Structure 1
Amino acid sequence: MTEPDWLPNTDDATSVPPHDREAEMAVLGSMLLSRSIIDSVTAIIASATDFYMPRHQTIYRVITDLYSRSRDPKIDTITVAAELLATGDITKIGGPAYLQALVASVPTVANATYYADIIRERAQLRAVLEATRRATARALVAASTAAEILDAAMADLQAAAAGTTPADIRLAVADRWMGFVDELEAGADPNALDTPWMDINEVVELKPGQLVTVGAATGGGKSLLGMNLAAHVALTRGKPALVASMEMGGSELMARLTAAEAGVVLDRLIRRKLDQSDWEKVFKAAPRLQNAHNFILDDSPNLTIGKIRARMRWMASQGNPPAIVVADYLQLMTPENAKANANRANEVAELSRGLKLLAMEFEIPVIALAQFNRGAAGRQPVVTDFKDSSAIEQDSNVIVLMHRPLNEDGTPDDERAGEIDLIVAKNRNGASGRIVPLIFQGHYARLRSMARSI
């Protein structure tokens, strides 16, 4: 009797990285049998790459994608097979029969978290082996100094140790209480971030796990706000920041950043037409920018949630886990496993939900910039003006709408020239409905607070 093609080859055990095929099969089979255990499993498994076998990674991604895509997901061998067929991966995992084999491999669904612990443990062992392999390779070729090689090895090992185990998870009120009291005594949430605008800080606080959506019309200043905010976190507060831009390339991003930090007219930077006084300002800002190793600008084409997650994990492996992520902008992002003739509203809803899950997974605020429908032009915007999807309103913890003041006839308001209103349309942790005016300095690619700048 011949064995199915999904059974592994009997390689020399010393040459095979640590893994447990039976545990991987049992976890995936349990997820196919019982939707109720998926949350428990994903709380242990850091990512699909915790699975050693590529086909198991693919199946895990499909199950978790289906699970996060809907508020009442249908997860079983039939729906997962249909999704794999749609993405062209069904043959890569061994066909529908392999999904049935996964289900048949489950001794009991009740032990799914125990099997997940085994998978996570083996994944960490593989990460340790990979970290030591890289350190050995660096040392053999003397690629860096001994101190630099040790620092890199420590960063790799810390990244390998990242991720929680059930023993690390502290959910009980008794476990949380003293930490909460410490926060009350400190007078502020130590994990929250501020913005560079004092006026906004009085209304909005950027907390871990939040999705903050900033909406504006085309050319309405959302990219400018996103860059100003990320620069404040990275350059002023000294915390790692990631800007994932689908709107602009790296050169344009750098021009905007330099304009805002150096006070040089943006058009001169873009056109490379600087005079002596401009160069003096650039040189003055140079030390601040040339040492900004914790400020990452990712202008990779066709950015997806998965690519942003990979970039965040890369930052963590370098010892700079991001404290904030800015995605510019939501409707330009590419959905995972995009399908021909797909409903764009559903795709944007999937992206919005994905960014929310990123914020919760990494416990940081994620700032999603989004564009309004054309119908919002010439009037004060509302939350229903977001282009392509109403799910943005549901997923966001905070929604800020940007609006340039106009007269009743739609012409610019001369009395408020150079101003822009930030409308806090939704704020789960504070007051909503507040309108905060800021100074709009588009020629310097920056916004300024009406109150005294910090």
Structure 2
Amino acid sequence: MTADYKTPPHNTDAEQAVLGGIMLDGGEERSQKVLAMLKPESFYNKAHGAIFEAVRDLLKRNQPVDLLTVSDELGRRGQLEQTGGFAYLAEISKGVPSVANIVHYAAAVRDCAMERYAISKLAEATEMLYTRSTMNAVEKLEAVSTLTSQISDYAKTGNRRGARALIDVMDDWLREVEGRFDNTGAHRGLSTGIPSLDAMLEPKGLVKGSLFVIGARPKMGKTTLYSQMAINTAMREKLPAVLFSLEMPDKQIFERMVGQASGVNTDIFYRGSDNDTDFALANGHAMELVQSGNLFIDDTPGITLAHIVAESRRIKREKGAVGMVMVDYLTLMTGEKADRNDLSFGLITKGLKNLAKELGCVVVLLTQLNRDLEKRTNKRPLPSDSRDTGQIEQDCDYWLGIYREGAYDENYPQHETELLLRLNRHGKTGVVYAEQKNGAIYDADQLAYQAKAAEREAKPQKRGGF
């Protein structure tokens, strides 16, 4: 029976070399790199984890790190004897093959820690599948998928889910703050691709982990903005964008994207063009979109929240990250069983918000608005106009309405568009003016449009005074 027992992955020599090397290194740059890679729980030997924690705390207090200071710190904590005493600290310090290689030794320790974490989660998944419970098979498989995502996240970040000490949260926060000022942009928010809207969202941008809702009546340009944000995420942000379309087939979405990326009117794909350069331009941009490898379209009809979650997790596992998950649109989804539609769709918005936090991405959700808004004199949309659910206002981090006066007045310029940022948990709100042409949204001269809007508002008041 004992022959079948397998010891969890660990590397005692590497653990000793890391600890001894840090004590000899004295807190130099190599030691700082090791601190960023490992945590006390990364060590299989609990005594080694306690020693590492003592070393980490000394460095955070800007205290010197050597054999004597570490011994004193462990003694102050009442852990010196438990960790082998001064003699053991001296032994591991002497046994370091090379201080120059402690980052390499730390990588070996981290690899074993990740393998142990994966074994633990997979065992948890196996036990869940074997155990008879109130969960049905689909719910169990969704839970297994969550555990798999946790393994993937831990492999990339070294962070476990669940309650974390504030010191660990602070460490991660400090690294993120530093990352916001580097050139990679990995830790800043995402952009929308509409410069004036991005300026309104500055300095944070679209914060990762957020739910961004776009609401409008039909034919206002929801899908146009949705696909344009996807192109921006894939081409400018260099991150995957996953589009779930319940309204349009994938080929139509791709055609729309080609037109938006190239600036070519997509009518040429139906009636041809006298200008051969239009086709060449469209084809060139189509290849750029494809070669980016960052755009994914799922046009499965009537999809469920579980389907969106599973596919989004799969893309993250394959690509390492997800920039945006985009859903067009809410009320076409198959909701969970509930007494009322608003409760059913409320569960979906909660689930999408949780997905944004889990994947560290922005989830963009399109929603139709109630027809009642058209009875108002001012038909500009509000978050409370969202059809079949009031939960959206509570769950979303951003709520953007799209409005075209031309949809109600044929004498009004049809291309003029207002992007109404009504809710923004992370910054200011306001109106951004844009223009829709050939199935794409373009930025507009904000000052000129503001002056035009003020002039239009003043005219009725003037007439009323006569």
| Cα distance in 2, alignment partners of residues 48 and 401 from structure 1 | 44
| Cα distance in 2, alignment partners of residues 228 and 393 from structure 1 | 24
Q: Which amino acid aligns with 2:232?
A: H
Q: Which residue of 2 aligns with 1:131?
A: none
Q: Which residue of 1 aligns with 2:227?
A: 227
SS of the aligned residue for 2:394 comes to helix
Q: Which residue of 2 aligns with 1:266?
A: 266
What is the aligned counterpart of 1:51 among 105, 109, 125? 125
What is the aligned counterpart of 2:360 among 358, 363, 376? 363
Shift of 1:209: 0.9
| Cα distance in 1, alignment partners of residues 239 and 181 from structure 2 | 24
Shift of 1:168: 11
Shift of 1:190: 3.0
| Cα distance in 1, alignment partners of residues 433 and 356 from structure 2 | 27
Q: Which residue of 2 aligns with 1:431?
A: 428
Q: Which residue of 2 aligns with 1:206?
A: 206
Instruction: Go from structure 1 to structure 2 and tell me whether the alpha carbon gap of 1:413 and 1:402 turns closer, same or farther (over 3 Å shift).
Output: farther
Q: Which residue of 1 aligns with 2:171?
A: 175
Alignment check: 8 A CA contact 1:198 1:451 kept? no
| Cα distance in 2, alignment partners of residues 375 and 349 from structure 1 | 21
Q: Which amino acid aligns with 1:385?
A: D
Shift of 1:350: 0.7
Instruction: Go from structure 1 to structure 2 and tell me whether the alpha carbon gap of 1:228 and 1:324 turns closer, same or farther (over 3 Å shift).
Output: same
Shift of 1:171: 4.0
SS of the aligned residue for 1:425 comes to strand
Q: Which residue of 2 aligns with 1:5?
A: none
What is the aligned counterpart of 2:443 among 440, 444, 449? 449
Q: CA RMSD in A?
A: 4.1
Q: Which residue of 2 aligns with 1:135?
A: none
Larger mean CA deviation between 207-216 and 272-281 belongs to 272-281
TM-score (norm 1): 0.61
Q: Which amino acid aligns with 1:446?
A: A
Query: Cα deviations across residues 106-144 of structure 1 (Å, max 9, x unaligned)?
Result: xxxxxxxxxx9xx99x9799x8xxxxxxxxxxxxxxxxx
| Cα distance in 2, alignment partners of residues 325 and 300 from structure 1 | 15
Q: Which residue of 2 aligns with 1:257?
A: 257
Instruction: Go from structure 1 to structure 2 and tell me whether the alpha carbon gap of 1:319 and 1:186 turns closer, same or farther (over 3 Å shift).
Output: closer
Shift of 1:413: 5.5
Please say which structure displays the higher CA radius of gyration: 2
SS of the aligned residue for 1:202 comes to helix
Alignment check: 8 A CA contact 1:211 1:355 kept? yes
Q: Which residue of 2 aligns with 1:351?
A: 348
SS of the aligned residue for 2:239 comes to coil
Q: Which residue of 2 aligns with 1:165?
A: 160
Q: Which amino acid aligns with 1:51?
A: A
Instruction: Go from structure 1 to structure 2 and tell me whether the alpha carbon gap of 1:411 and 1:272 turns closer, same or farther (over 3 Å shift).
Output: closer
Unaligned 5+ residue runs, structure 1? 1-12, 15-43, 60-80, 94-115, 128-157
Instruction: Go from structure 1 to structure 2 and tell me whether the alpha carbon gap of 1:160 and 1:302 turns closer, same or farther (over 3 Å shift).
Output: farther
Instruction: Go from structure 1 to structure 2 and tell me whether the alpha carbon gap of 1:54 and 1:251 turns closer, same or farther (over 3 Å shift).
Output: farther
| Cα distance in 1, alignment partners of residues 395 and 369 from structure 2 | 17
Instruction: Go from structure 1 to structure 2 and tell me whether the alpha carbon gap of 1:219 and 1:168 turns closer, same or farther (over 3 Å shift).
Output: same
Q: Residues 25-424 of structure 1 correspond to what in structure 2 (within 5 A)?
A: 51-53=125-127, 55=129, 81=134, 161=155, 164-165=159-160, 171-172=166-167, 174-176=170-172, 178-179=174-175, 182=178, 190-204=187-201, 205-269=205-269, 271=270, 273=272, 275=274, 276-335=276-335, 338-339=336-337, 342-377=339-374, 379-405=379-405, 410-412=408-410, 414=412, 416-424=413-421
Q: Structure with the greater relative contact order (CA < 8 A, sep ≥ 6): 1 or 2? A: 1
| Cα distance in 2, alignment partners of residues 357 and 381 from structure 1 | 26
Shift of 1:165: 2.4
| Cα distance in 2, alignment partners of residues 333 and 273 from structure 1 | 36
Shift of 1:58: 9.0
Instruction: Go from structure 1 to structure 2 and tell me whether the alpha carbon gap of 1:374 and 1:166 turns closer, same or farther (over 3 Å shift).
Output: closer
| Cα distance in 1, alignment partners of residues 374 and 340 from structure 2 | 24
Instruction: Go from structure 1 to structure 2 and tell me whether the alpha carbon gap of 1:250 and 1:167 turns closer, same or farther (over 3 Å shift).
Output: closer
Query: Cα deviations across residues 71-126 of structure 1 (Å, max 9, x unaligned)?
Result: xxxxxxxxxx5xx6xx7989x99xxxxxxxxxxxxxxxxxxxxxx9xx99x9799x
| Cα distance in 1, alignment partners of residues 154 and 426 from structure 2 | 34
Instruction: Go from structure 1 to structure 2 and tell me whether the alpha carbon gap of 1:342 and 1:248 turns closer, same or farther (over 3 Å shift).
Output: farther
SS of the aligned residue for 1:165 comes to coil
Alignment check: 8 A CA contact 2:191 2:198 kept? yes
Instruction: Go from structure 1 to structure 2 and tell me whether the alpha carbon gap of 1:342 and 1:192 turns closer, same or farther (over 3 Å shift).
Output: same
| Cα distance in 2, alignment partners of residues 395 and 451 from structure 1 | 33
Alignment check: 8 A CA contact 1:48 1:58 kept? no
Q: Which amino acid aligns with 1:450?
A: A
Alignment check: 8 A CA contact 1:421 1:436 kept? yes
Query: Cα deviations across residues 181-200 of structure 1 (Å, max 9, x unaligned)?
Result: 53676698833111211110
SS of the aligned residue for 2:372 comes to helix
Instruction: Go from structure 1 to structure 2 and tell me whether the alpha carbon gap of 1:298 and 1:393 turns closer, same or farther (over 3 Å shift).
Output: same
| Cα distance in 1, alignment partners of residues 216 and 271 from structure 2 | 28
- The structure where helix makes up a greater share of residues is 2
Q: Which amino acid aligns with 2:295?
A: F
Shift of 1:256: 0.6
Alignment check: 8 A CA contact 1:312 1:321 kept? no
Q: Which amino acid aligns with 1:305?
A: L
Q: Which amino acid aligns with 2:293?
A: H
User: What is the aligned length?
Assistant: 322
